Amino acid sequence: MARTLLFEIGTEEIPAGFMPPALSFMKSYMEKTFKNHRIDHGEIITMGTPRRLTLMVKEVAETQRDKVEEVMGPPAKVAFDVEGKPTKAAVGFAKGQGVAVEDLKVKETPKGAYVYVLKEEKGGKTEDLLSGLLEQLVRSIPFKKSMRWANRDIRFARPIHWFLALFGEGVVDFEIEGIKSGRTTYGHRFLAPDPIELNRPEDYLDAMERAKVMVDHNARRTMIWEQVQREADKAGGVPQEDEELLEEVNFLVEYPVATCGTFDPEFLELPPEVLITPMKEHQKYFPVFDKEGRLMNHFVVVNNILTPDMDLIIQGNERVLRARLADARFFFQEDKKTPLMEMFEKLKDVVFQERLGTSYEKVIRFRQLARDMADEVAPDKKALVDRTALLCKADLESQMVYEFPELQGIMGREYARIQGEPEEVYLGIYEHYLPRFAGDDLPTTVTGALVGIADRMDTIVGCFGIGLIPTGSEDPYGIRRDTLGVVHVILHQGFRFSLGKLIDRALELLGDKLERKPQQVKEEVLNFLRQRVYHLWVSEGFRQDLVDAILSTGFDDLVAARKRLEALQEFSHDPNFEALMTTFKRVVNILPPNFTSREVNPTLFEKEEERILYNALIQLEDRVKELVVQENYLEALKTIATLKDKVDAFFDGVLVMSEDEKVKSNRLSLLKRIADLFTGLADLSKVVLSK
């Protein structure tokens, strides 16, 4: 027989962001726990609302599986004497395991014959274990922040009010600091607050639905989105799709009821982001857009209550939003009176990082770095890049960004546009923040791209320079995100500059802010960049060994490294790739470490295979170099591949390690020149061949 386990932790409202990780943990924890305790089970389901974390495990076995274990003892020759009688070692082992000496067995192992005993452990009743397992689960759920309440020592995201714990029709009895488990749960706080007694787990979902609680968060999420779309459609528009907002709203309600509200059309004169940000970030409303993508003066709110007169609820939300938008309009009007240069000067009083100085100092540094990059890749844009860098952080001192930090860059763009800055400047002010997260848009302007790279590199090098290096999950300054941002922007724009020189210049501009040796910082930053590039390219589907082969030959020019990788990946699809790599890895592997000679003397050749290989080599060396300069890496690889048969013939017919040192060195020099054909293309030693 098997039963269903139902466990619900009833709480005060838990923050929405805490819920998905907690539910995921509960599922994985129980999977692992049941496995460790040899308890067979069926599907594990977790569900949740702001006031409850629910675990349901179907077809849980009523008893554990029996356990049979081999316990190894001493070697047989130690356990028994020459006459086969047990020694003290055998007697001691048997006594330690609680068995008779006669129960000892002998088995052959790779190390010889050993004594062992079979120990059987009868499986216990599952219900006897569940009390302890559920209590431990409650104490183990991790939260970003937890709290104590009343006079209890237990910590949890929010105060716990009840435990519903049923195994089939029976209660799993346990108690944590006065909170006892039982068969009682509660419905919606306002719509159905009375206690609900459950006889069996299978009644749970229906009982909760009658009590105005949708426990299944996946079904609730689907219902919310359908309601939001329906309400927006009534207003003649469509809601903005936002998975993050939908996920958050989903865990703010137990019984979703969507309604559509309006606001004064005159607010539409403000930039759309100024309206959308308060709606989404502060009020958790869904903005509504018309069919052409223009923001409408409508919003959809998902309520956690149903009343006979929902108009009162709508009016309340409209009143709150109106106040928010009025504040935003006031801040916008006031900010427009202040020139961005005046805001920029105020950055002298804003600390970026106590050891790296103020935001003003940071801007001065990366402004110069951006100018230097512009000199190299876009000299005609230098003045625009300089102006963008100067103004890009000014809006941090605006009233609007102070109230709504999510609008940094957006407000800088708007204020710069209003104050008459060139388009590439005001767009660059916004775009220098891109990408802000994985999958975000990338800068379309050279100004935004270069200033964004400069800003990020100043942060990366500065943090490494004072020892603030990301470790594990700790990355308070977002160095990993910034590093990936630099890589994405460089590749997207096709910028051709040296990463090493860029780091050198950033170190130079940081000057006496550095607390560590510049060369050490440079090496660590380059290694950190390499790791990010490696994981990025592997995640995009490139073979791990090929990525390693490319990065091991250098990635100072990221664009060139990417082109080499694409060529090598395409070359790897050649049916003869493995055979080619075997041949050329043989060339690389036979060369002694640090062998540098490339001087080949044809008069020292003793075999025809040497002459044939040498003549073929000198005919294509210049061609390969030319193709590499042209960045036609695939053709360069194909050209080198034509040497394969001649290299194979060379190894078959020639003893490289001749007793004559001059002949030996000459042959190694010939192979060194072949190996050098790959210099700057790929490190063949990193390529993994299938067995």
SS (H, E, C) 52-107: EEEEEEEEEECECCCEEEEEEEEEHHHHECCCCCECHHHHHHHHHHCCCHHHCEEE
**Sign, CA torsion 268/272/273/278:** positive
- Hunting for tokens 């209590």 — which residue is that? 135
All structural domains of the chain with their residue ranges:
2-63+125-210, 67-121, 217-335, 341-540, 560-686
**DSSP letter (8 states) at residue 600:** -
- Hunting for tokens 């990059």 — which residue is that? 373
* Fold that domain 560-686 belongs to in CATH: Isoleucyl-tRNA Synthetase; Domain 1 (1.10.730)
**Sign, CA torsion 96/102/103/108:** positive
pLDDT of 345: 97
SS (H, E, C) 273-295: HHHHHHHHHHCCCEEEECCCCCE
Between the CA of residue 54 and those of 36, 163, 168, what are the distances in Å? 22, 10, 16
- Read off the pLDDT band of 71 (50, 70, 90): confident
- Read off the pLDDT band of 474 (50, 70, 90): confident
Q: Are 630 and 642 in contact (CB under 8 A)?
A: no
pLDDT of 207: 97
- Hunting for tokens 């029709």 — which residue is that? 169
Q: Which residues 6+ apart lie within 8 Å of 30 measured at CB?
A: 44, 55, 57, 133, 137
For the CA atoms of 352, 353, 356, 359, what is the dihedral angle to 10 degrees? 10
Q: Which residues 6+ apart lie within 8 Å of 540 measured at CB?
A: none
pLDDT(75) > 70: yes
pLDDT of 296: 97
Measured in Å, how far apart are the chain's first and last C-alpha atoms?
49
Angle ∠(146,149,151) on CA atoms, nearest 5: 135
pLDDT of 178: 93
Q: Are 1 and 62 in contact (CB under 8 A)?
A: yes
Segments of 519-638 assigned E as strands: none
pLDDT of 78: 87
Q: Are 676 and 598 in contact (CB under 8 A)?
A: yes
Burial of 119 (0-12, 13-18, 19+ CB in 10 A): middle
Average pLDDT in the 535-552 region?
A: 96
Percent of the chain at pLDDT above 70?
100
- Cα–Cα dist 417/271, whole Å: 12
Average pLDDT in the 139-154 region?
A: 94
Residue 38 token pair? 């040899």
SS (H, E, C) 204-258: HHHHHHHCCCCCCHHHHHHHHHHHHHHHHHHCCCEECCCHHHHHHHHCCCCCCEE
The separation between CA 668 and the C-alpha centre of its own chain, rounded to angstroms, equals: 46
Average pLDDT in the 340-369 region?
A: 97
Give phi and psi for 51, each to the nearest 5. Answer: -110, 10
- Hunting for tokens 């009868």 — which residue is that? 122
* Helix, strand, coil shares, percent, the chain, to 5: 55, 15, 30
Average pLDDT in the 11-33 region?
A: 97
Average pLDDT in the 323-349 region?
A: 96
If phi > 0 it is left, if psi is from -120 to 50 it is alpha, else beta; for residue 54 that is: beta
341-540 CATH pick, 1.10.10, 1.10.3210, 3.30.200, 1.10.357: 1.10.3210
Give phi and psi for 247, each to the nearest 5. Answer: -65, -40
DSSP bridge partners of 10: 52, 162
Q: Which residues 6+ apart lie within 8 Å of 220 measured at CB?
A: 49, 214, 250, 253, 256
β-bridge pairing 179-182 and 160-167 = parallel
- Cα–Cα dist 572/400, whole Å: 54
- Cα–Cα dist 300/237, whole Å: 11
- Read off the pLDDT band of 81 (50, 70, 90): confident
- Hunting for tokens 């726990």 — which residue is that? 33
pLDDT of 455: 98
Between the CA of residue 294 and those of 236, 240, 271, 406, what are the distances in Å? 12, 11, 11, 21
Q: Are 89 and 101 in contact (CB under 8 A)?
A: no
pLDDT of 473: 75
- Read off the pLDDT band of 691 (50, 70, 90): low
- Ordered strands of the 105-109 beta sheet: 67-75, 112-121, 105-109
Average pLDDT in the 305-312 region?
A: 89
pLDDT(265) > 70: yes
How many other CB atoms are found less than 10 A from the CB of residue 320? 16
Q: Which residues 6+ apart lie within 8 Å of 11 measured at CB?
A: 51, 52, 53, 156, 157, 158, 159, 160, 161
- pLDDT tens for residues 98-118? 888 888 888 888 888 898 888
Residue 223 token pair? 């219902």
pLDDT(571) > 90: yes
Q: pTM for this structure?
A: 0.81
2-63+125-210 CATH pick, 3.30.70, 3.40.140, 3.30.1760, 3.40.50: 3.30.70
Relative orientation angle of helices 558-571 and 544-551, to the nearest 10 degrees: 140
Percent of the chain at pLDDT above 90?
83
**DSSP letter (8 states) at residue 603:** G
pLDDT of 227: 97
Residue 505 corresponds to which amino acid? R
Residue 531 token pair? 């790791």
pLDDT of 438: 87
- pLDDT tens for residues 480-522? 999 999 999 999 999 999 999 999 999 999 999 999 999 999 9
pLDDT(160) > 70: yes
3-state secondary structure of 19: helix
Mean pLDDT of the residues in the chain: 94
- Cα–Cα dist 213/193, whole Å: 11
Between the CA of residue 528 and those of 73, 206, 355, 473, 514, what are the distances in Å? 49, 53, 22, 15, 18
Residue 555 token pair? 């990635």
- pLDDT tens for residues 455-469? 999 999 999 999 999
Give me the half-sphere count of Cα atoms (radius 13 Å) on the Cβ side of residue 665: 9
**Sign, CA torsion 251/252/258/260:** negative
